[in-house]
Chain A
Amino acid sequence: MKKNKTNSEKFNVLGIDVGGTFTDLIYVNKENNVIEFAKVPTTSENQAFGVMNAIKKANLDLNKVKLIVHGTTTSTNALLERKLSKTGFITTKGFRDIIELGRRTRPNSYGMHGKFVPIISRDLRFEVNERINASGKVITPLSELEVINATKKLLKLGCESVVIHFLHSYANNKHELKTLEIISKIWPNNYITMGHSLLSENREYERGVTAAINASVQPILEKYLNKLEKELVSNGYDGELLVMNGNGGTISSKLVIEEAAKTVMSGPASGVIAAAHTGKSSGTNNIITYDMGGTSTDVALIIGNEPSVSSDLEVEYGMPVHVPMVDVRTVGAGGGSIAKLNLAGLLEVGPESAGSKPGPICYGNGGIVPTISDANLLLGRLNISKIISDNKTVSLNYIKNIFNSSLGKGLGLDEVQTAQAVVKIANTKMAGAIRMVSISLGVDPRDFTLFAFGGAGPLHASSLAKELGIPKVLVPARPGITNALGCVVADLRQDFTKTLNVPLEKVNVIDLHAIFKKQKERGEELIKKQGLDLTEMSSSFTLDMQFIGQTHILRINLGNSKPNLKYIQQSFEDAYLRRFKVELPEIKANIVNINTTVQGHKSPLDITLLNNMSGKVLDVEDAILEYREVFFKDKFINTPIYSRDKLPFQFELKGPAIIEQMDTTTLIEPDDKVYGDDLGNIFIEVGDF
């Protein structure tokens, strides 16, 4: 693929996000300011088919597209299904079992069951003589001969990738570098990952697993991207392909392979990036994102337009991927979550889900257990004619009967009260997840706006906001394709972390500034290498700190790359008091990690383009499609149903109301006030209802 050839004209950008169920596309044609959308089913065996289908459906001429930004779950799926490439592991003598032993836990606090499959099986893990101690001193020299022998054995066993993982390599990477040099001479490809290269952290299990995941998804991701590029090229594309990373930034498809582990969990990140962008455009700086889909709900925190990023997330039990990732928490409640009575006769919702097959009863695909979507239907919140009209297998009465027999009878409630209860329990659960990313981190929800998206988010957002004390809800113009929008608006991003682990008072401030400078320069170099037309580059600097003796860390944002020690001390103490409500004047502070994030910004997207301007009406009343009986609190209210496409910008209205659009339904409760801004976003000021 050639380097993009446009340096002066504006990009025509195509964003394509592959989700669990749907592949979403959004195309921004900046020449004539037109936006195209498409949504097609995901083709999980080869996601490239779905991508090409979406392009066909949107009727795009790839010749005119200058840049494609792609979010893919290829690495995530390979990891979760353990369909990984055969990978070898070369490690310090005595420690080959580190990535199988884990950190000695079990999946659940209660229950002695539990499975764990290591990323690399024991027969592919080889040990060599070498040892570095905790202060970085070599105490056993590297046996180069053993490295050669182990490498040859791994090749003979058919390994495609290899990991080099030595103890304390974060303190001294000499042996890993030497081993890389030796292996590179024999290994037929570039799929070689050194433990210290993705993260320089002092935890051998987390570092080893991260490296093992990286190596074992590399060939899979590369093959997939090659296939996709071939397809794109044969359809006339000659621009650049960028891939979404879990940190919410994008990276060239040529560079992404080296750090393939960073694409794990990139899916939810793009939605958060879109939320940050939309928030910034509309002057909303502090956001809690709320993405409710069919099986689960993702929530994340954005403070001052910056999504929270964490480096200690787990993809599943015992599977830490310690690279910077947007801190997205998932809770098992989605439209398809199943409601049932437990043995004590109390109502429970989720985490089991009817999934997309058979799905909720109302889908008519054979679902027979009550779900959240069915409850919303019984409450009149979803449009019966839209959902049920296509299939004749299910009627409203059929759903009512199931609610009555399986839940209502046991609860002593009628089907409508039961449906209301199901929604309430689901909301409580989702509120709990939101609290864990907000209140429990010392953040006051009253300072935030709830950004609702996903197919079901806007339906629950208003009552959830009330439950949490969040005063305002933002429903963007296109809640159903937020992830694809995230691809389009995401910037290029590089993160760097260096472990220091030195008491603050002993830190040489000149060295600290030098590290920030070096990280910044390296980031800028990598971003420039990708040869895109960028408006500007920016860097942010943070420190991970703790009181000496603690093992957990607190991340401190610094305004600049040259802070003095007094300022650092003060920032840390303030953050600590906010989070833990206690002060510790007795104990000194420690700097654990030095982090820099460098971003290359693309010219910002004007989000008003997301709106369909042709159908807009002048008078809000004219946007009413019909009136429907919708259940609120204790009774059905005849409620106006508005068309989102028809509503003008800067409208105002009062609840109760429902706003329908192709990809979602927004519920406005009585007492809520709603207004549109001049970009096409809807804001709900929640009442006390």
Chain B
Amino acid sequence: MGIDKITLSVIQAGLQQVCDEMDLTFSRAAFSPVISEANDRSDGIYAAESGDLIAQGIGGLPVFVGTMEYSTRELIRLINEGKVDKPYEDDIYIVNDPYLGGTHLMDVRFVKPYFRKGKIFCWLSNTGHWPDIGGSVPGGFSASATAVEQEGLRLPPVKLFKKGKLDNEIYSIICSNIRVADQRIGDVKAQEAALLVGEERLNILLDKYGDDIVKQSIAELRNAASDQMKSMIQEIPEGIYKSSAWVDSDGVVNEPLEIKLSITKKKEELEFDFSGSSKPCKGPMNSVLATTLSSVYLAIRHIFPEVPINGGAFIPLKVKRPLNTFLDAHYPRPVSGCAAEVSQRIAEAVFIALVEVLPLRVTAAPAGTSGNFALGGFNEDTNSDFVMYQLSGGGYGGNSDHDGLANGCSTIGISKAPPVEIMEQKFPVLYHHYALHEGSGGAGKQRGGFGLDYKLEILCNNAQASFVMDHGRYGPQGAMGGLDGQVNVVNVQQSKKVYTPIHLSKEQDIQLTKGDTVHVKTPGGGGYGHPFERNELLVLKDVKEKKYSIKEATKLFGVCINEKDFEIDQKETKLLRKN
């Protein structure tokens, strides 16, 4: 028999601590606001031979929960096949190839072998979202690429650090292929620092408990996480649960893409079958398998947050490879939308399939888009190029206990939005407003949260904009009788002419100049429960706060409010709600 349960718990906490400290170091030292403020990064520990996930920082971006395991496995495979150079102490590999267990090209992974007594004990790895990776649009979120080459520089696993020293030749190749390269060294060092800190902490842990005990504990913790996930699954009755979710379009062909999901609960397992989903698409809304898997894992973890992040937790989750659909992209399919958008739609499909059988745990659909608006150009005031991201939140879904959160971050992220004041300081833009998207929360007994409504003006002569957002065609889905949230709306004003992108939420190569404006309203969350069951006083409160109009209160919630004194007309309300 193995390790006592107490030592197990202690080692579990210790491994978690190592990852949390790596996360913290990475963010605090990073330069790019996408990492330092938005925490678009993750750090973890992976098994020496299998690449299995051992532990991952709790503050890491959820979408990386499964991708780094996948990519570490691919690296190990390539080393074993002799296709990638063997690891030595203090080497660090860099890789961003989406087809080798990645997301989009901007997510750059560092992988460092961790040696004990001359042998690899495990791997430390982290992912950081670089603000640019080359390609046809600044920021990398091409809305209409048709091949991965248009999306940026693709790196196979190569050693960026050899025995602790940065390889300046490889680094200069990278720098010659990306925008605003001069500050990249700061993020590279931050990413390295996180791994060095992790290594130091892991040394302390292993010195204290002994390599063998820790190794054995890791194996047992994997089993424990698997058992815990199995017990959680028992909350779901045996059966098949189906749902669909839609991506607006692929950015090239203006037709919705369908995610068709069927979840089978059988004994201790959940099987996820996406067959029948749309075919691989022309534009960049394809998802690589690693991202598809990761999206399922993170959705389940949102439902059962008690289970520790460890590869064992994924064992009872069986995802059938969605062959020949846009959820299993192969080279050279473009993929820039998979991490930020398709992943969230997969999570929505999981939520909607399970909300009726897990009504206390699952919410109606959240806004489910990263609201990516990228702007690149030349800033005359600072005499330099710039790449700016505006990632936005949206409303969360209502749930059995309360209304959805307003302006929550993406399902797959935990990002903080940068302050308006910092955006205006760093980039040539002026915000006209930054407000709640009124009326956007899906009506329900517990309504959806409200999205964001912002408008900004371009202050430089020459800029290029691109949008990769979603839920412009259909709003986030309501649940248990609740209504869908409002859709995402983009309006661009180009020298006095205002227009909406043909693909609603996706477009690139938009030339903008001084005085032009961009107006975005992000989706509200889906409502939960029938809106007529909503407490009238809560409806009145929302109307008084101008979150809904009096008309909307009547139409959506069946609450009649007198325009003059803001009193509820009880008689009329009763009548309305009866039907």
B462 contacts the other chain (Cβ, under 8 Å)? no
CA distance A151 to B406 in the complex (A): 28
Please give, as numbers and ranges, the residues of chain A lying within 8 Å of B213 by CB-CB distance.
none
- The digit string for B408-429, where 1 denotes a CB below 8 A from any CB of A, is 1101001111111110110000
Q: Take A205-B419, A550-B31, A584-B189 as given contacts and tell me if A104 and B397 are in contact as well, using a CB distance cutoff of 8 Å.
A: no
CA distance A103 to B27 in the complex (A): 16
Considering the complex, which residues of chain A in the window 138-171 have a beta carbon less than 8 Å from any beta carbon of chain B?
Answer: 139, 167-168, 170
Please give, as numbers and ranges, the residues of chain B lying within 8 Å of A579 by CB-CB distance.
28
Closest chain A CB from B546 CB (angstroms)? 7
One of B88-96, B192-200, B285-293 contacting the partner: B192-200
A535 contacts the other chain (Cβ, under 8 Å)? no
Contact A580 B186 (CB under 8 A): no
Q: Which residue of A lies closest to B17 (CB)?
A: A432
Contact A100 B406 (CB under 8 A): yes
Please give, as numbers and ranges, the residues of chain A lying within 8 Å of B498 by CB-CB distance.
none
Contact A122 B8 (CB under 8 A): no
Cβ contact of A112, chosen from B227, B232, B302, B415, cutoff 8 A? B302
A346 contacts the other chain (Cβ, under 8 Å)? yes
CA distance A93 to B433 in the complex (A): 7
A228 contacts the other chain (Cβ, under 8 Å)? no
Cβ contact of B392, chosen from A98, A104, A552, cutoff 8 A? A104
- The digit string for A212-250, where 1 denotes a CB below 8 A from any CB of B, is 000000000000000000000000000000000000000
Q: Which residue of B lies closest to A108 (CB)?
A: B305
Cβ contact of B415, chosen from A105, A134, A439, cutoff 8 A? A105
Contact A105 B10 (CB under 8 A): no
Q: Take A168-B421, A202-B419 as given contacts and tell me if A425 and B6 are in contact as well, using a CB distance cutoff of 8 Å.
A: yes
Q: Indicate the member of B17, B60, B393, B420 with the most A CB atoms within 10 Å.
A: B420
B512 contacts the other chain (Cβ, under 8 Å)? no
CA distance A394 to B460 in the complex (A): 76
Q: Take A104-B393, A122-B546, A552-B36 as given contacts and tell me if A133 and B192 are in contact as well, using a CB distance cutoff of 8 Å.
A: no
Q: Take A549-B183, A551-B33, A551-B37 as given contacts and tell me if A204 and B419 are in contact as well, using a CB distance cutoff of 8 Å.
A: yes
Considering the complex, which residues of chain B in the window 22-46 have a beta carbon less than 8 Å from any beta carbon of chain A?
Answer: 24-25, 27-31, 33, 36-37
Contact B406 A109 (CB under 8 A): no
Q: Take A203-B419, A587-B183 as given contacts and tell me if A122 and B545 are in contact as well, using a CB distance cutoff of 8 Å.
A: yes
Contact B36 A134 (CB under 8 A): no
Contact A104 B409 (CB under 8 A): yes
Closest chain A CB from B485 CB (angstroms)? 13
Q: Which residue of A lies closest to B188 (CB)?
A: A582
Q: Which residue of A lies closest to B313 (CB)?
A: A344
CA distance A436 to B201 in the complex (A): 12
A448 contacts the other chain (Cβ, under 8 Å)? no
Contact B6 A116 (CB under 8 A): no
CA distance A251 to B423 in the complex (A): 37
Cβ contact of A425, chosen from B9, B193, B200, B408, cutoff 8 A? B9
CA distance A116 to B396 in the complex (A): 12
Contact A106 B408 (CB under 8 A): yes
CA distance A587 to B408 in the complex (A): 34
Q: Which residue of A lies closest to B192 (CB)?
A: A582
CA distance A587 to B544 in the complex (A): 52
Q: Take A122-B545, A205-B419, A584-B189 as given contacts and tell me if A134 and B424 are in contact as well, using a CB distance cutoff of 8 Å.
A: yes
Contact A106 B405 (CB under 8 A): yes
- The digit string for A119-140, where 1 denotes a CB below 8 A from any CB of B, is 0011100000000011000010
Contact B421 A203 (CB under 8 A): yes
Please give, as numbers and ranges, the residues of chain A lying within 8 Å of B547 by CB-CB distance.
122
CA distance A99 to B419 in the complex (A): 12
Contact B9 A346 (CB under 8 A): yes
Contact A584 B186 (CB under 8 A): yes
- The digit string for A65-98, where 1 denotes a CB below 8 A from any CB of B, is 0000000000000000000000000000111111
B306 contacts the other chain (Cβ, under 8 Å)? yes
Cβ contact of A424, chosen from B6, B17, B200, B435, cutoff 8 A? B6
A429 contacts the other chain (Cβ, under 8 Å)? yes
CA distance A406 to B77 in the complex (A): 46
Please give, as numbers and ranges, the residues of chain A lying within 8 Å of B363 by CB-CB distance.
112-113
Contact A123 B545 (CB under 8 A): yes
Closest chain B CB from A600 CB (angstroms)? 34
Cβ contact of A133, chosen from B399, B406, B430, cutoff 8 A? B430
Contact B424 A112 (CB under 8 A): no
A428 contacts the other chain (Cβ, under 8 Å)? yes
B59 contacts the other chain (Cβ, under 8 Å)? yes
Contact B232 A343 (CB under 8 A): yes
Contact A111 B305 (CB under 8 A): yes
Q: Indicate the member of B37, B397, B409, B434 with the most A CB atoms within 10 Å.
A: B434
Contact B416 A115 (CB under 8 A): no
Contact B434 A101 (CB under 8 A): yes
Q: Indicate the member of B6, B30, B232 with the most A CB atoms within 10 Å.
A: B6
B330 contacts the other chain (Cβ, under 8 Å)? no
CA distance A206 to B399 in the complex (A): 28
A567 contacts the other chain (Cβ, under 8 Å)? no
Considering the complex, which residues of chain A in the window 332-348 have a beta carbon less than 8 Å from any beta carbon of chain B?
Answer: 342-348
Considering the complex, which residues of chain A in the window 320-362 have a beta carbon less than 8 Å from any beta carbon of chain B?
Answer: 342-348
Contact B414 A106 (CB under 8 A): yes
Cβ contact of B411, chosen from A112, A204, A501, cutoff 8 A? A112
Considering the complex, which residues of chain B in the window 411-466 have a beta carbon less than 8 Å from any beta carbon of chain A?
Answer: 411, 414-422, 424-425, 430-436, 452, 455
Closest chain A CB from B415 CB (angstroms)? 7
Please give, as numbers and ranges, the residues of chain B lying within 8 Å of A93 by CB-CB distance.
433
B320 contacts the other chain (Cβ, under 8 Å)? no
Contact A203 B422 (CB under 8 A): yes
Q: Which residue of A lies closest to B362 (CB)?
A: A112
Closest chain B CB from A631 CB (angstroms)? 14
Considering the complex, which residues of chain B in the window 316-354 have a beta carbon less than 8 Å from any beta carbon of chain A?
Answer: 351
Q: Take A110-B62, A346-B8 as given contacts and tell me if A547 and B421 are in contact as well, using a CB distance cutoff of 8 Å.
A: no
Please give, as numbers and ranges, the residues of chain A lying within 8 Å of B419 by CB-CB distance.
103, 202-206
A435 contacts the other chain (Cβ, under 8 Å)? yes
Contact A202 B224 (CB under 8 A): no
A586 contacts the other chain (Cβ, under 8 Å)? yes
CA distance A410 to B363 in the complex (A): 33
A364 contacts the other chain (Cβ, under 8 Å)? no
Considering the complex, which residues of chain A in the window 423-447 have a beta carbon less than 8 Å from any beta carbon of chain B?
Answer: 424-425, 428-429, 432, 435-436, 439-440
Closest chain A CB from B155 CB (angstroms)? 21
Please give, as numbers and ranges, the residues of chain B lying within 8 Å of A586 by CB-CB distance.
185-186
Please give, as numbers and ranges, the residues of chain B lying within 8 Å of A471 by CB-CB distance.
none
Contact A116 B414 (CB under 8 A): no
Please give, as numbers and ranges, the residues of chain B lying within 8 Å of A114 by CB-CB distance.
396, 405, 408
CA distance A121 to B24 in the complex (A): 34
Cβ contact of B185, chosen from A115, A440, A587, cutoff 8 A? A587
Contact A115 B29 (CB under 8 A): no
Contact A94 B435 (CB under 8 A): yes
Q: Indicate the member of B405, B455, B546 with the most A CB atoms within 10 Å.
A: B405
Considering the complex, which residues of chain B in the window 173-212 have a beta carbon less than 8 Å from any beta carbon of chain A?
Answer: 183, 185-186, 189-190, 192-193, 196-197, 200-201
Contact A101 B408 (CB under 8 A): no
- The digit string for A632-651, where 1 denotes a CB below 8 A from any CB of B, is 00000000000000000000
- The digit string for A168-209, where 1 denotes a CB below 8 A from any CB of B, is 101000000000000000000000000000000011111000
CA distance A345 to B12 in the complex (A): 14
Contact B5 A347 (CB under 8 A): yes
B162 contacts the other chain (Cβ, under 8 Å)? no
A392 contacts the other chain (Cβ, under 8 Å)? no
CA distance A113 to B10 in the complex (A): 29
Please give, as numbers and ranges, the residues of chain B lying within 8 Å of A552 by CB-CB distance.
27-30, 36
Starting from the known contacts A343-B232, A547-B186, 11 additional A-B residue pairs (CB-CB under 8 Å) come to A101-B434, A109-B414, A110-B62, A112-B351, A168-B424, A202-B419, A346-B5, A551-B422, A580-B189, A581-B193, A582-B196
Task: Please provide the 6 A-B residue pairs with the shortest distance between their CB atoms, ordered closest to farther.
Answer: A94-B433, A104-B393, A344-B228, A122-B545, A104-B417, A110-B305
16 examples of A-B residue contacts, CB within 8 angstroms: A95-B434, A97-B436, A100-B436, A101-B406, A104-B416, A113-B402, A114-B408, A123-B545, A343-B227, A344-B228, A345-B224, A345-B227, A346-B12, A550-B29, A580-B189, A586-B185
